[in-house]
């Protein structure tokens, strides 16, 4: 996919590798960068493995090399992949993976109380080869997930909701031995998308308050008018919102573009922070949302800075 923003994995910063592991499900062994799923315990109701590292991925990408010891029975439901978005066993998380649901490549989600469910699948599991080393890569920006195998893009998916957490691990299903090597994680700055009119006094609010406060907290802050390159602006807006960690919307004026962008963010269950000048009546549909009101004066600037920083910190701590 050509329009996915580059990660820091292209020589800009070294990747992180796990130094510690915690096996939560199944039998595992860990030694010098090699993690081996040895199969389930006899008393496990389902034959799957789950191992967590200390690495975290808020935005960026992760790679691991996977090798199946035995795929003699192509009907066997065997799979292996990377865990992203883990917070706790009581929460949901995602598994970009090889195998599963008789597919060669799949994206699944663990849902508490329901178990694993397939989101996407491609190819036939019969095309996977035992003993071959496959490089699985997942790129994640906000709710946009891209999966590659041996450098080939398999599919992308925009999740219906943000990931619950940011812990990284390994996933395996089946009774056969599976070997994982070279798990590496590259992180990049999460993004904030700003929806607002492109004229004064809102331009000054963006330049003097929103962008510097967001960047100070480690966010890449962007408006649609700052995007460059060819493309359809409607698709640019959807992509930027889906890849953002939070959407900041200035809703003082009843601007149709701003409310469209805010509506798309709400459809994705995206965290949103609303700003509006005091004294303006808000549309009925959004009166129930928390809004940061501010005075358009010199004295109002520090107040909106403090409130915006507090809300952004809350969003980043929850992710």
Query: Which of 46-60, 164-178, 287-301 is the least confident region?
Result: 287-301
pTM: 0.89
Cβ atoms of 291 and 282 closer than 8 Å: yes
**Could you give phi then psi for residue 4, rounded to 5 degrees?**
-75, 130
Overall number of domains in the chain: 2
The helix/strand/coil state of 147 is strand
- For residue 146, list its beta bridge partners: 139, 156
Query: What's the pLDDT band for 10 if we cut at 50, 70, 90?
Result: very low
pLDDT at 281: 73
Q: Which residues of 210-223 are buried (b: 16+ CB within 10 A; e: fewer)?
A: bbebbeebebbbbb
Q: 6 lies in a domain? A: no
Q: How far apart are CA 284 and CA 311, in angstroms?
A: 23
Picking from 140, 169, 187, the residue at the C-terminal end of a domain is 187
Q: 72 lies in a domain? A: yes
CB-side exposure of 100: number of CA atoms within 13 Å? 24
pLDDT in tens, 89-125: 889 999 999 999 889 999 999 999 899 999 999 999 9
pLDDT in tens, 233-248: 888 899 999 999 999 9
Domain enclosing residue 60, as ranges = 21-187
CB-side exposure of 220: number of CA atoms within 13 Å? 16
Q: Do 101 and 245 sit in the same domain of this protein? A: no
Q: How far apart are CA 156 and CA 163, in angstroms?
A: 15
Q: 15 lies in a domain? A: no
């Amino acid at each position: 996919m050509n329009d996915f923003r580059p990660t820091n994995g292209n020589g800009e910063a070294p990747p992180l590798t796990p130094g510690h592991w915690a096996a939560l499900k199944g039998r595992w062994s860990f030694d010098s960068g090699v993690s081996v799923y040895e199969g389930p315990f006899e008393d496990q109701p389902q034959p799957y493995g789950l191992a967590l590292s200390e690495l975290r991925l808020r935005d960026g990408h992760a790679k691991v090399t996977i090798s199946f010891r035995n795929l003699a029975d192509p009907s066997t439901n065997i799979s292996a992949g990377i865990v992203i978005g883990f917070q706790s066993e009581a929460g949901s998380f995602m598994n970009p993976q090889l195998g599963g649901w008789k597919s060669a490549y799949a994206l699944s989600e663990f849902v508490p109380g329901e178990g694993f469910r397939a989101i996407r699948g491609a190819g036939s599991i019969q095309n996977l080869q035992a003993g071959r080393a496959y490089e699985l890569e997942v790129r994640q920006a906000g709710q946009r997930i891209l999966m590659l195998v041996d450098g080939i893009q398999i599919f992308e998916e925009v999740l219906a909701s943000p990931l619950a957490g940011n812990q990284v691990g390994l996933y395996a299903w089946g009774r056969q031995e599976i070997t994982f090597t070279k798990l590496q994680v590259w992180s990049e700055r999460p993004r904030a998308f700003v929806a607002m009119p492109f004229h004064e006094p809102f331009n000054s609010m963006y330049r003097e308050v929103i962008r510097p406060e967001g960047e100070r907290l480690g966010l890449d802050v962007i408006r649609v008018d700052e995007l460059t390159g060819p493309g359809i602006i409607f698709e640019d807006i959807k992509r930027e919102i889906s890849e953002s960690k939070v959407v900041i919307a200035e809703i003082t004026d009843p601007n149709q573009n701003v409310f469209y962008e805010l509506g798309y963010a709400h459809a994705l269950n995206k965290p949103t922070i609303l700003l509006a000048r005091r004294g303006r009546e808000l549309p009925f549909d959004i009166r129930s949302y928390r809004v940061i009101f501010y005075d358009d004066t010199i004295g109002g600037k520090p107040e909106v800075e403090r409130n915006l920083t507090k809300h952004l910190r809350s969003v980043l701590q929850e992710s």
